Structure 1
Amino acid sequence: MRVVAAMSGGVDSAVAAARMLDAGHDVVGVHLALSQSAATLRESARGCCTIEDAGDARRVADMLGIPFYVWDMAARFRRDVMEDFVAEYQAGRTPNPCLRCNEKIKFAALLDKAVALGFDAVATGHYAQVVERPDGSRELHRAVDAAKDQSYVLGVLTAEQLERSFFPLGDTTKPQIRAEARERGFYVASKPDSHDICFIADGDTKAWLTARLGEQPGEIVDAASGEVVGSHAGAYAFTVGQRRGLGLPRHTRDGRPRYVVDVDAGRNTVMVGTADLLGVNSLRGDHARWCGPAPEGVVAVGAQVRAHGDEVPATAWADGDDVHVRLTGRVRGVAPGQSVVLYDGTRVVGSATIAETALER
């Protein structure tokens, strides 16, 4: 099978490419250039797509003896991920750019180009497992290493995309991957993992958004009393569940901390309240994506609303492009724009972007 191995320059994608080659596939390494002004070196464990990363990926490809190319997808990444990220925050929502990148770039633009060039599939260094059923169909499952499991950010894959995807690391823990990389002599064996939002290298999302949207002064309002309790420079910089950075007096009248409970983008208002106002047990999601057949009727599932959050027992049902999820307990700090990923045991059923939340009695 002819396979494109997406090589970021990190240890995971390096071992993934090596394993695909060991399995007997015809492998070509591809590094995605996603930045239109790539830095020469990494500043920290944040960020990606530096010239250094491309060089690290090329060195691994040379050691493996496989062809290596750099594909420029910076314009597509800016449009489908970065501009979407800004627009979502401006609308008072909290997006997950990793899911959007997987949906729009790695398993759409990359996979589409690979197939157009005659390749059969794409392999990445994500920690997840693909299980093939007796009828030949494929399922997406959680990784063996629960601490590194990335099935949540892959929940946007369709059954058709899953048919052409490989995740060779899903049955292995991260320490084992690093040990394997050292045994193979890879220079990247001890390279730090990248984390957080790759295109915000310093991790300051608020400053990054402000540089693009400018200051937009508005009010911070107490959700219970309607009293104006503070001001802000832009509602887009806040997310439901946030406690830090509100700029409120340290001591409130009742002595209880305040959290963001709603962001009203239309009024440019941030609503704050006590922790008891954060809990929700009902979600409606749109932009449904199914890793297999859509569920029929009401089904019992596990629901996860954050990449590293806990799975909560729930029931769910599909309604066209919408998904309705009823959680068995309250979950705090769930914001529109986040994704809910549904599981049946370790199997990923599908995902949706959260449009509305509620507390139903």
Structure 2
Amino acid sequence: MSGGVDSTLSALLLKNAGYDVHAVFMRNWDPQDDASLGPDPCPASADFEDVQWVDFVKEYWNQVFERTLADYAQGITPNPDVLCNSEIKFGEFMDKVLSDEVVESIEKRGKDQRIWLATGHYARTRTLPSGETQLLRGLDRNKDQSYYLSMVSEQALRRTIFPVGHLPKPQVKAMVAKAGLERISNRPESMGICFVGKRRKFSTFLAQYIERSPGEAVDLDGRVIGQHKGLFAYTIGQAARIHHGPDKWFVLNKDMKHNRLICVNDSNHRKLFSNCVFARQFQWINGEPALVSRPDEEDQVLEGQIRYRQEAIPCTVQRHMDSYKVTFSSPIRAIAEGQNVVLWRDETCLGGGVIHSAFHEASSA
């Protein structure tokens, strides 16, 4: 439980449905590791006198945070929320709360007893006749969080319940308020990376752990237009905040070898758009689809997206050794190495991978 409306209503719905509900708060960050933040930036953490605490600070640091820092230091833009779900929430955490010992003790109470992990994510699951579990989008497309769950294994999803996945967010807040929990229903949205919060720029936070190496910012012709503060602090497509002449400058690329930030003076410069990506570390939730070996068939087109809440775009997928090539029907602006590409067939999430290159491929038509 995070203490917000989504996890609160999830627990309430399950309780009303007759489940034996046990609340667990997963602690992933020690505020002492970031003393400059001041008081704990996760205000909900003060409200857990009545729930069980499970400490995963070490696991989060080793399996998510250090990998995130290493990526940023190499000029990559990772998605730590996707990694946290696959490695910690539906990995280490699930293994602990649904351990063999726990499951056995529960199931001994009766042959019909089963134990599940429930969360407040806006997503749904569907059980196939084969017994496999599929991941579906949440019905509230504005809040759908299946993107962040795209690399969670089918085995983990099979043991998970998403009680609010079929509800729109306004109804969730109204139901919590109706239950007499107005204080919770009026809470602001929680942040994905809780320990950062809304207090500061993420680049300022990262600067506590990654050494700044200022260098030159240049245009496409190599002319120096200013100085950057450290390549890790910039993301492809963002405003570079470099004042040189009358133009505004936007990040196109990072030259890690020469410590240079490459910029263009048009937010919609053609070089900022790509229609193809190569992705590795692919997690197919229900196994690699057969369509990967025959991507040219018109009825085998999927939908893909590289950012949360981005509109899904028709695409095809081909396997290339240890990578997959995803080709979109229209170009996408500012794709960065390290981002996740997630694939759907209709409402079903097939899985996703980590982008290691993006480019524009001219049409053969």
Matched, 1:206 2:215: no
CA RMSD in angstroms, aligned pairs only: 2.2
Deviates more, 1:12-21 or 1:183-192: 183-192
Unaligned runs of 5+ in 1: 1-6, 60-67
Q: Residues 110, 172 of structure 1: CA spacing in aligned structure 2 closer, same or farther, 3 A cutoff?
A: same
User: What CA deviation, in whole Å up to 9, does each residue of 1:186-215 have, x standing for no partner?
Assistant: 241211111353221324111112222232
- Give the CA deviation at 1:279: 0.5
Give the whole-Å Cα distance in 1 for the aligned partners of 2:245 and 2:167: 46
Matched, 1:270 2:261: yes
Give the whole-Å Cα distance in 2 for the aligned partners of 1:339 and 1:258: 26
Residues matched between the structures, number: 336
Give the whole-Å Cα distance in 1 for the aligned partners of 2:118 and 2:256: 39
Give the whole-Å Cα distance in 2 for the aligned partners of 1:148 and 1:329: 24
- Give the CA deviation at 1:317: 2.6
Which of 205, 219, 222 is matched with 2:219 structurally?
Answer: 222
Give the whole-Å Cα distance in 2 for the aligned partners of 1:131 and 1:57: 32
Q: Residues 92, 326 of structure 1: CA spacing in aligned structure 2 closer, same or farther, 3 A cutoff?
A: same
Partner of residue 293, structure 1? 287
Give the whole-Å Cα distance in 1 for the aligned partners of 2:320 and 2:97: 33
Counterpart AA for 1:79: N
Give the whole-Å Cα distance in 1 for the aligned partners of 2:354 and 2:167: 30
With normalisation by structure 2, the TM-score equals 0.86
Matched, 1:108 2:91: yes
Unaligned runs of 5+ in 2: 104-114
Q: Residues 265, 300 of structure 1: CA spacing in aligned structure 2 closer, same or farther, 3 A cutoff?
A: same
Partner of residue 127, structure 1? 122
Percent of aligned pairs with the same amino acid: 30
Counterpart AA for 2:186: S
Counterpart AA for 1:194: S
Give the whole-Å Cα distance in 1 for the aligned partners of 2:304 and 2:257: 30
Q: Secondary structure at the match of 1:206?
A: helix
Q: Residues 135, 325 of structure 1: CA spacing in aligned structure 2 closer, same or farther, 3 A cutoff?
A: same
Which of 43, 64, 86 is matched with 1:81 structurally?
Answer: 64
User: What CA deviation, in whole Å up to 9, does each residue of 1:121-163 have, x standing for no partner?
Assistant: 3111000111122332211111111111111111111111111
Partner of residue 102, structure 2? 118
Give the whole-Å Cα distance in 1 for the aligned partners of 2:189 and 2:308: 16
Q: Residues 250, 86 of structure 1: CA spacing in aligned structure 2 closer, same or farther, 3 A cutoff?
A: farther
Contact 1:36 1:75 in 2 (8 A): no
- Give the CA deviation at 1:57: 4.4
Partner of residue 347, structure 2? 346
Give the whole-Å Cα distance in 1 for the aligned partners of 2:177 and 2:203: 38
Residues 163-312 of structure 1: pairs in structure 2 closer than 5 A: 163-186=158-181, 187-195=183-191, 197-201=193-197, 202-223=199-220, 225-243=221-239, 245-252=240-247, 257-273=248-264, 274=266, 275-296=269-290, 297=293, 298=295, 299-312=300-313
Contact 2:41 2:195 in 1 (8 A): yes
Q: Secondary structure at the match of 1:88?
A: helix
Q: Residues 205, 18 of structure 1: CA spacing in aligned structure 2 closer, same or farther, 3 A cutoff?
A: same
With normalisation by structure 1, the TM-score equals 0.87
Give the whole-Å Cα distance in 2 for the aligned partners of 1:72 and 1:320: 39
- Give the CA deviation at 1:25: 2.6
Q: Residues 319, 195 of structure 1: CA spacing in aligned structure 2 closer, same or farther, 3 A cutoff?
A: same
Give the whole-Å Cα distance in 1 for the aligned partners of 2:4 and 2:127: 28
Contact 1:215 1:233 in 2 (8 A): yes
Give the whole-Å Cα distance in 1 for the aligned partners of 2:29 and 2:75: 26
